[in-house]
Structure 1
């Protein structure tokens, strides 16, 4: 390990995190052949295969697994060391930020965030990944920089900041027979619904609220994402419930009919979350501020 070029540490960290030469190449902004050559250099320097073939993928060797936690800490420490005493120059900033959110948030937020970031920081790449299980590990190990969504308390090492509140609204395809007139609860349950659940659970907050009115809806299909639900709603006679910001985009792009629900449902409090080690990182603070403004353009809050 003493012979290892320190410039390879970051590449090794990314390779072990991704477990894929192709995915690592994308994060490193290198070609796949160049990343493969980098892996070969790492193997020669360490005297270990590092990643070995397992079926169609790659898995780390025992030695690679043993070094990974300390390696990642070293990479983060080196990055922080280089930023000490430097004023942030976003115009010359070269950095990839990974943000995790569900699809209904990525749609409205991504375009607004790109419009804010790209003109002033062309070297910044925004990498959105799909929502996963609520777990602090990706924030802790740096796999993701920001978590965006309805976030519960994740412990003392995770910081959160509110972005905006949203609510659920009903959505119908353009020209749906129920699009005319007020949507009463009885009309709402007269047509089958599409439900959204990552875990495949059909029953949700609306069903609990309908119980209080002695009503029950029919669930025709359960899908894992709001994008899937929107596609089904727009091409069938089913009703769907979607976050309002996302639903309003559908009105613009497809002419969907959006209506208020005549029933009380919990508001969606959307926040961003990050690991405490990023609190004072100038680039990370800048990104959090841009995200807050993208989520709420009328905000005058200038804090980190």
Structure 2
């Protein structure tokens, strides 16, 4: 039997996406073409691979068993067939799409853009907003690099912790907290708060920490970005709790005062994430290196 390596790529995409449409979008082919590939895979393996259950498709036991092996085989094939070449930054023409938390764009984006343009003038960076829901753009190749506080759980997504920063609170200069020697947990809980949540959540880990002390706080507003939430705090007595690195620009640009939190909480991590298909891509590896430096120098570590 003659082996068609295109079927290996199709099988990998089908197992990752769990649908014909998703696999087709990832490999940039039509849905009918992917359906034909699934038919050939079923004929070759003697297994249905994906079976319809209601409106979704579920992998068969065989598909689940070989998923990791398919990933590894495809990775090895790509490593063998990919041409080995030196990266010529001076002539590199490429657009990278980055989905970073808005505070990380503000802190580290300028340094990354400056470093990229100096080394490779033909490179363009597309910073896109985070979605309010978890999306598969990294898998589909629509996003090259993510940076936020969330460590992805998918086995095909690489993640590197590039730093962390403790949480602090920020208030306007005329806020009553600025006249207190040390804000207590009780005073903190009694204040009115604004939080940052792209999903509009009114509670987070801070509320869990307060609950352990028998305290609750009143969140009167949420904002989808830290920039918006900081503006709310600037114009009212609302308290915002954010990673300390974020407040560097807040202090200078908005005139806010940064105070320590009266709670013991772990520092907020910063993860850089990408799909494993780019592990050996020279251009992507170069960009990851610049992003790692920008995020570290820009304020990721404490």
Q: TM-score under structure 2 normalisation?
A: 0.69
Task: Find the residue that maps to 1:118 and give its secondary structure.
Answer: helix
1:200 aligns to 2:200 (yes or no): yes
Task: Find the residue that maps to 2:227 and give its secondary structure.
Answer: helix
1:262 aligns to 2:262 (yes or no): yes
Gaps of 5+ in 2: 1-28, 37-78
Tell me how far 1:151 sits from its aligned partner.
2.9
The aligned counterpart of 1:179 is 178
Within 2, Cα distance between the matches of 1:187 and 1:161?
37
- The C-alpha deviation readout for 1:137-193, integer Å capped at 9, x for no partner, is 211211000111123343332211221112221010122222133222222123211
- Pair 1:273–1:199, CA change in 2 (3 A): same
Q: TM-score under structure 1 normalisation?
A: 0.68
1:167 aligns to 2:166 (yes or no): yes
Within 2, Cα distance between the matches of 1:85 and 1:162?
28
The aligned counterpart of 2:87 is 88
User: Contact conserved, 1:248 with 1:258, CA < 8 A, in 2?
Assistant: no
The aligned counterpart of 1:149 is 148
- Pair 1:234–1:67, CA change in 2 (3 A): farther
User: Contact conserved, 2:165 with 2:243, CA < 8 A, in 1?
Assistant: yes
The aligned counterpart of 1:107 is 106
Within 2, Cα distance between the matches of 1:158 and 1:203?
28
Task: Find the residue that maps to 1:201 and give its secondary structure.
Answer: coil
The aligned counterpart of 1:294 is 294
Q: Within 5 A, what are the aligned runs for 1:109-258? A: 109-132=108-131, 133-135=133-135, 137-180=136-179, 181-258=181-258
Tell me how far 1:212 sits from its aligned partner.
2.2
Q: How many residues align?
A: 228
Gaps of 5+ in 1: 1-62, 71-79, 299-304
Tell me how far 1:65 sits from its aligned partner.
4.4
The aligned counterpart of 1:41 is none
Within 2, Cα distance between the matches of 1:69 and 1:235?
56
Tell me how far 1:280 sits from its aligned partner.
0.7
Tell me how far 1:232 sits from its aligned partner.
0.5
Within 2, Cα distance between the matches of 1:93 and 1:83?
18
